[in-house]
Amino acid sequence: PDLSSSTVQTARGWPLWERWFATAVLSGYKFISSLASLTMAPGVDIIAEEFAIHNSTVSTLLLTIYVLGYAVGPLLLGPASEIYGRKPVLTLSNLWYLVFNIACGLARSRDQMIAFRFLAGVGGSGPLALGGGVLSDCWNAEERTRALSLYTLPALLGPALGPIIGGLIIENLNWRWVFWVTSAASAVIQLIGLVLLRETYAPVIRKRSMVKYQQPRPDAGAPEGREGVTGKISTKLTTAVRLLCFEPTIQLVSLYGAFLYGLMYVAISSMTELWAVKYGESRLTSGLNYISLGLGFAFGSQSGAVANRWVGLSHKLLHSCV
């Protein structure tokens, strides 16, 4: 068979429904991960009391250490996905998250909770690290904006809906069930992705096709094994670090994104104390105050996508008239 046709070998040649399915599964992974980041917010004071935490900074750390895992995970998961493929890395990172999120529900001390939350965040960063790559695999530049709006909406709604769902769970069960419920939801997405999602990264698809049809690979003479893989990962890892350190555009965008993300978590982590402790609202009622955040996130992400398409069309029209 002819393996030179990119239409046959890449995810962009899939039927439209399958590309949307891959985007939806990725959005599901990201939604559960972002949901889990703040589902425990309404119960932070209860957890702090149970673990005898009297320092407000440490109790806030229980919530926010998860996001530090978001910063560490992509440095390894992104390069690994370009060697082993998107699906294996996404599946294993979600499995890693699943294990340590369950462990959070079984934690018996402050130190265990902090460690398990950080490790769960590392695994939960998989959809964040691979999202742009999967969308680029499946969609060309003209189509990608619409797919990106679908991917980002659940990711932004997760932090807003998390405290509402967490308040409902804590009100009727206890704080440990917050982790077990989110783990069950993650397991469902994991099963769907494991069974139905196909690999999207073109070089890995081509490599597998060549192995399947016993055609010689272009890099057949290159040394494989642990040293070759380690070298590839370190090269891709240092490339990402160099871009962050020496590219002003990436630095500005990264710093701005970090500022906004940090501001969001500072606001969200303090809202429970404000509404539940100072104003005496129930866990469920205090969680409803996050609805306004969700509405703002939804409006901002979708209006941004529309504006991006409009600017792109205007730019194309301007150049066609020149």
Per DSSP, the residues of 214-228 read TPPPTTTTS--SHHH
Q: State which fold the 6-216+225-321 domain adopts.
A: Growth Hormone; Chain: A; (1.20.1250)
The whole-number pLDDT of residue 194 equals: 92
pLDDT band at 115 (very low <50, low <70, confident <90, very high): very high
Rounded to whole angstroms, the Cα distance separating 155 from 158 reads 5
Mean pLDDT of the chain: 83
Summarised one tens digit per residue, pLDDT across range 18-70 is: 999 999 999 999 999 989 988 888 888 889 889 988 888 888 888 889 988 98
Q: Of 9-18, 250-259, 279-288, where does mean pLDDT reach its minimum?
A: 279-288
Q: What angle do CA 255, 128, 304 make, to 5 degrees?
A: 65
Could you report the per-residue pLDDT of 217-250, keeping only the tens digit for each? 555 545 555 556 677 667 777 777 788 888 888 8
User: 6: pLDDT confidence band, cut at 50, 70 and 90?
Assistant: very low
The answer to whether 229 and 83 have CB atoms below 8 angstroms apart is: yes
In terms of C-beta distances under 8 Å and separation of at least 24 residues, what long-range contacts does 48-52 make, across chains too? 51/109, 51/110, 51/113, 52/110
First to last CA, the chain: 44
Q: Check residue 318 and give its pLDDT.
A: 74
Percent of residues, the chain, with pLDDT higher than 90: 29
> Is residue 120 very low, low, confident or very high in pLDDT (cuts 50, 70, 90)?
very high
Which DSSP symbol is given to 14?
Answer: S
The count of other CB atoms within 10 Å of the CB of residue 57 is: 8
Structure tokens at 135: 């969308």
